[in-house]
């Protein structure tokens, strides 16, 4: 069961300083299951709220009880379900969603992991671009490591994307990873920080992408 709440909180200089005033709450479930989660949300240019999550229990999908990346869109004025989609290659929990971000064309971009690609024995980083109706425009896996995962992705001024996450090489040590993705999903460059044992989070500030 996925529960979404919309509300307002008083702010002082950008920091929440008051109680959360709930406007509405909606609970969504495809099969009355308990394995549905929401990991990230974004608001599209038309106001629609898109939640990126995962559904690990699909009794009527592909092989029974297999899951994938679950995307849900709700209306901002009441939380009515606009659409929902499950994306999976029918392998056990094949695709997972970590982060979603709105894009200037009215759609959104997703970052996560693909655990059904033999090029990565422990999972590949997965990027996918969607329109406002949840139809997929393109998707690409980040290969070349034993495992890789994308924790965050944001649009860049040139129409592409910057993504941060982590990877594991043959030493099985977790390394922080930053990637530049083109507007059509191709990897343009990447940088690994082997001295770290964690993934990055970042944000655009004054036209520059900073991460920590």
| pLDDT per position as a tens digit, 68-86 | 788 889 998 888 888 988 8
**Is pLDDT at 189 greater than 50 in this prediction?**
yes
Q: What is the model's pTM? A: 0.76
In order of 34, 109, 110, 148, 150, the CA distances from 134 in angstroms are 23, 10, 11, 25, 20
Among 72, 138, 143, which residue's Cα sits nearest to residue 109?
Answer: 138
Question: What residue ranges define each of the domains in the chain, with the CATH number in brackets?
Answer: 2-211 (2.40.128.630)
For the ranges 94-103, 111-120, 127-136, which has the lowest average pLDDT? 111-120
Q: What angle do CA 167, 58, 146 make, to 5 degrees?
A: 15
197 has pLDDT over 70: no
Q: What is the mean pLDDT of the chain?
A: 72
User: Which is more confident, 42 or 12?
Assistant: 42
DSSP string, 62-108: SSTT--EEEEEEE-TTT--EEEEEEE--SSTT-EEEEEEEE-TTS-E
């Amino acid at each position: 069961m996925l529960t979404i709440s919309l509300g307002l909180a008083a702010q002082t200089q950008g920091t929440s300083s008051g109680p959360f005033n709930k406007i509405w709450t909606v609970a969504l479930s495809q099969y009355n299951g308990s394995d549905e989660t929401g990991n990230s949300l974004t608001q599209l240019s038309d106001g629609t709220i898109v939640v990126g999550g995962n559904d690990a229990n699909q009794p009527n999908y592909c092989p029974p009880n297999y899951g994938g990346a679950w995307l849900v869109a709700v209306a901002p004025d009441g939380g009515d379900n606009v659409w929902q989609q499950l994306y999976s290659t029918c392998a056990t929990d094949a695709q997972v969603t970590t982060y979603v971000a709105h894009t200037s064309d009215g759609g959104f971009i997703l970052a996560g992991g693909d655990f059904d690609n033999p090029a990565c024995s422990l999972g590949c980083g997965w990027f996918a671009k969607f329109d406002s109706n949840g139809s997929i425009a393109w998707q690409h896996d980040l290969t070349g490591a034993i495992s890789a995962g994308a924790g965050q992705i944001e649009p860049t001024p040139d129409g592409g994307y910057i993504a941060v996450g982590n990877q594991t090489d043959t030493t099985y040590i977790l390394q922080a990873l930053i990637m530049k993705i083109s507007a059509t999903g191709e990897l343009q460059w990447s940088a690994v920080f082997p001295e770290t044992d964690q993934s990055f989070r970042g944000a655009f500030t004054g036209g520059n992408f900073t991460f920590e």
